[in-house]
Amino acid sequence: MERKRLPEYLKRGIIDTEKTKLVRSILKNKCLNTVCEAARCPNKAECYSKNTATFLILGNICTRNCRFCNISGGKPAPLDRTEPYKVAQAIKELDLKYAVITSVTRDDLPLQGADMFALVIEETRKLVPDIKIEVLTPDFEGVEDLIDIVVDAKPDVFNHNVETVKRLYPKARPLANYERSVNFLKHIKERSPKMVTKTGLMVGLGETFDELYEAFADLKSVNCDIVTVGQYMQPSKKHLDVEKYYTDEDFKKVVELAHKTGIKHIVASGLVRSSYRAFETFESI
């Protein structure tokens, strides 16, 4: 299949300012990773220019190898037990009011990194008491005790990405499970009914609008508060092909379908990613 060319409306210009240099400097000095760099996010320059970044904890090697993701799979390095404090320090130095914490999947760890998420939240709130914190976690293989470790640390938003429609899981996420991810979001609400839950999906992998509607209906059934939908962009020729680039009209239909199922907070456009403008989305609830 011939690789589809990226449409002009999905291209972002390069922004390099004193602010972007400051963010890079702080991250480098503390030996921290960001998903902005690891996943080649198209919004990296914009977010850096606003003194924000999505921190990637637990290293930069994932124990899974999803066919859409640019983060490398393989054998991870040992944990840096000082990482929670270093992330908290970076958040303070960047003077953030809203921080997003995510990670690679670490199926190799006894607690799969859930304890490290909790420690990052704890250390950050010590240094920046008024901070709003969003976590974006792996599925922890659906182990509820691990989910509870993070829920009980009281993040302001708990995000777990469903990523795609049910039919495409064997193709895009062979080591994950659609029902497990939906039930993950359900369990958060059961454990903490007032906690804001969030999920994200990619489009352009071959899904149909009917399948998207079914996914939105499933998310509504578990009272997911925020749903983000963005265009899948192929990181390299080794990754899944883009089957379709959605137009603005297509994204309008996506929003209409989500609203039809009862989802109130839906953010959908070509460059949307789950952490993009997360603070603005949180404030809109």
pLDDT for res 66: 59
Q: How far apart are alpha carbons 158 and 139 in whole angstroms?
A: 12
Domain of 102? Answer: 8-283
* 145 CB neighbour count, 10 Å cutoff: 9
Only one residue has tokens 């997360």, namely 278
pTM score: 0.89
- Does 147 map to a domain? yes
- Does 3 map to a domain? no
Looking at residue 184, which CATH number applies to its domain? 3.20.20.70
Q: Is 202 helix (H, G, I), strand (E, B) or coil?
A: strand
pLDDT for res 39: 45
The answer to whether residues 10 and 271 touch, using CB atoms and an 8 Å cutoff, is yes
Please state, in angstroms and as integers, the Cα–Cα distance from residue 66 to each residue in 21, 75, 117, 245, following that order.
31, 15, 22, 20
Nearest alpha-carbon partner for 228 in 163, 133, 151, 157: 163
Only one residue has tokens 């270093």, namely 86
Tokens representing residue 160 in the block: 């777990």
pLDDT for res 38: 45
Compute the residue count for the chain. Answer: 285
Nearest alpha-carbon partner for 168 in 268, 230, 243, 245: 243
- The domain total for the chain is 1
- Does 1 map to a domain? no
What string of pLDDT tens digits covers the 285 residues of the chain?
556 677 776 666 555 666 667 777 777 776 566 555 544 555 556 666 565 668 889 987 776 665 556 666 678 878 899 999 999 999 998 888 899 999 988 988 999 999 999 999 999 999 999 999 999 999 999 999 999 999 999 999 999 999 999 999 999 988 899 999 999 999 999 999 999 999 999 999 999 999 999 999 999 999 999 999 999 988 777 888 999 999 999 999 999 999 999 999 999 999 888 887 788 888 888
- Does 126 map to a domain? yes
Q: How far apart are alpha carbons 278 and 34 in whole angstroms?
A: 15
Q: How far apart are alpha carbons 206 and 241 in whole angstroms?
A: 9
- Does 172 map to a domain? yes
Q: Is 257 helix (H, G, I), strand (E, B) or coil?
A: helix
Q: How far apart are alpha carbons 159 and 226 in whole angstroms?
A: 9
The answer to whether residues 227 and 216 touch, using CB atoms and an 8 Å cutoff, is yes
Following DSSP, what letter does each residue of 92-150 receive, concatenated? HHTT-SEEEEEE---TTSTTTTHHHHHHHHHHHHHH-TT-EEEEE---GGG-HHHHHHH
- Does 33 map to a domain? yes
Q: How far apart are alpha carbons 285 and 283 in whole angstroms?
A: 6
Q: How far apart are alpha carbons 178 and 196 in whole angstroms?
A: 20
pLDDT for res 282: 87
Q: How far apart are alpha carbons 237 and 104 in whole angstroms?
A: 22
